[in-house]
Amino acid sequence: MASVIARKWLLKKNYEGTPKREDLEIIEEELPPLKDGEFLVEAQWITVDPYQRIVTGVGNVIKGGQVGKIIQSKNNDFAVGDLIFGYYGWSSHTICDGNPVGHIHGLRKLDPSNPVPPSTALGTGDAVPATAYFGFLDICQPKPGETLVVNAAAGAVGSAVGQIAKIKGLRVVGFTGSDEKVAYLKSLGFDAAYNYKTISTITDALKESCPNGVDCFFDNVGGEFFESVLGQMNTFGRVAICGAISQYNALELPKVHPVTTIILWKQLTVKGFIVTRWLDQWPDAFKEMTQWIQEGKLQYKELVFNGFDSIFDAFISLFKGANIGKVVVKV
Ligand SMILES: NC(=O)c1ccc[n+]([C@@H]2O[C@H](COP(=O)([O-])OP(=O)(O)OC[C@H]3O[C@@H](n4cnc5c(N)ncnc54)[C@H](OP(=O)(O)O)[C@@H]3O)[C@@H](O)[C@H]2O)c1
């Protein structure tokens, strides 16, 4: 069988501030013939995610999920033509031994009869839905009639959180970075949505849209956002710290204000989480969210970049706020 050249995106030097193209390099590697039990995956769809900015390692292939097609196999459980989801990162071709990579959901076959396109496995069948589902339901402990605030609200996680909250009977207020995204959030049923780049202050927007205060806050952004929303929270409010994207590229830490006093007096519960803590329950989230999608209760969007070489542009789009929904690359 003809040899296969794998192309891989490697981190060449640690990021300083916003990632730059020259921080990364694409290398080519001739792959050896398969051994018994191995199969060769050709990437079809590759995910880019904000965590890839902070989980780094010079000289390593950038880690992450991909949907791939098996093009050679010496493994009886995986046949040529099978579509799989695997944690093979930003790599065009990968030799696999049939064991999951990263964690227990790091390798699985995709159902070819599934009516949704395979790329959605990167959004609806991976960490994103589990993050939205467990981060909101488990950490925020929402009750019908309460008010949720979510930021980066038009993104993959944020848009799912807001929609789950509507399904659960909450009043939902979203913050995002463009008027187009505000219109999208309103189309999803958000009760109020703001372009944080054009409003006077987050506090004023919250006073207007949350006259009874904020009960649940799902924070994807951190920094000043975190502080502003805490100020409008009700006693016994719950805060899920999902991400801090405003800080990932920051060269200087923001000035810290004494938010502990607010947390104390309002008796808030503020919890950070990493989605892998619910790893054994992820299939529950995939199942229920897939059902909501099929019932039309949960909408899901993708921003697609084309070509293996476009991975960096796709990645950086997350920090420019170019996306509505999940950013994926069609290889
Ligand atoms: N804890 C976990 O286990 C876990 C798992 C997955 C993801 N996360 C976190 O969840 C958050 C959302 O991830 P995602 O994959 O769904 O990405 P995403 O929201 O689809 O994309 C990132 C969005 O963040 C916003 N953003 C970028 N830079 C910003 C800045 N400086 N200030 C304010 N907003 C900024 C942009 O939207 P705007 O137009 O609104 O600015 C952008 O579209 C991230 O913080 C990520 O690290 C955490």
Residue with more model confidence, 51 or 102: 51
Nearest to 213 by CA among 196, 233, 193, 198: 233
Report yes or no: 218 and 242 within 8 Å, Cβ to Cβ.
yes
Q: pTM score > 0.85 for this model? A: yes
Nearest-CA residue for ligand 1 atom 2 is: 274
Question: What domains lie within the chain, and their CATH numbers?
Answer: 4-113+301-330 (3.90.180.10), 127-276 (3.40.50.720)
Helix axis angle, 127-134 relative to 282-294, nearest 10°?
90
Ligand 1 pocket by Cβ (under 6 Å):
49-51, 127-128, 131, 152, 154-158, 176-178, 181, 220-221, 242-243, 245-246, 273-275, 318-319, 321, 323
Over the Cα atoms of the chain, what is R_g?
21
DSSP string, 108-128: EE--TT-SS-GGGHHHHTSHH
Nearest-CA residue for ligand 1 atom 13 is: 157
Cα-to-centroid distance, 313 and ligand 1 (Å): 16
Model confidence band, residue 1 (pLDDT cutoffs 50, 70, 90): low
Nearest-CA residue for ligand 1 atom 31 is: 246
Q: How many CB atoms lie within 10 A of CB 90?
A: 28
Cα-to-centroid distance, 255 and ligand 1 (Å): 21
- For the segment 290-303, what is each residue's pLDDT rounded down to a tens digit? 889 889 999 989 99
Q: How many CB atoms lie within 10 A of CB 101?
A: 15
- The ligand 1 atom at the shortest distance from the C-alpha of residue 326 is 20
- For the segment 54-104, what is each residue's pLDDT rounded down to a tens digit? 987 899 999 999 999 999 999 999 999 999 999 999 999 999 999 888 887
